[in-house]
Amino acid sequence: MKNQNLRKQNRVWIILNYLSLIAVMLLFYTVKIYHWPLSYLLFEIVIFAIFLTSLFQAYFKTKFWKMVHTSSKNLDEREVQTVLKALKYAYSIFTIICLIIIYAFAIAEFHSIDVVLAGGLLYLAHILPASIVGWNEQIIHVYDE
């Protein structure tokens, strides 16, 4: 039962991480597009704090980040299969997201993708596999340490 609660908790942190990433991007582009005062970007400090907290809770504290970013030599066979499956799904999802963004930019006749969006996509590429592992796997001995 405790493991189920930990899994649900981690799913909430994963969702919160993605929502805060989206919120940071939306606020940045809203201020940029509508020429709002730059002081509105101060709200990003709060959103960014939520973003960093959820990043730590969902990926570092659970060690899912480390599991996905470590050499397969350091993983057992089950973990290797889990990571490979997560990578397969993550990069399929990432490809679809990138294609949607590229087509949306082309249809809307926006200028090129800027540094903020590229940084968000880079973060997404790195975090997606750990998110899939964290969403599907039981939390392993991580909170016990």
Please spell the DSSP secondary structure of 13-64, one letter per residue.
HHHHHHHHHHHHHHHHHHHHHHT--GGGGGHHHHHHHHHHHHHIIIIITTTH
Tell whether 145 is covered by a domain: no
Q: Give domain status of residue 142, yes or no.
A: no
Residue ranges making up the domain that contains 119: 2-136
Structure tokens at 133: 């592992």
The number of distinct structural domains making up the chain is 1
pLDDT in tens, 9-45: 999 999 999 999 999 999 998 888 899 898 888 898 9
Residue 80 domain-assigned (yes or no): yes
For residues 71 and 75, give the distance between their C-alpha atoms in angstroms, rounded to a whole number.
7
Q: What is the pLDDT of residues 41-89, one digit of tens each?
A: 889 899 999 999 999 999 999 999 999 999 999 999 999 999 999 999 9
Note whether residue 144 is domain-resident: no
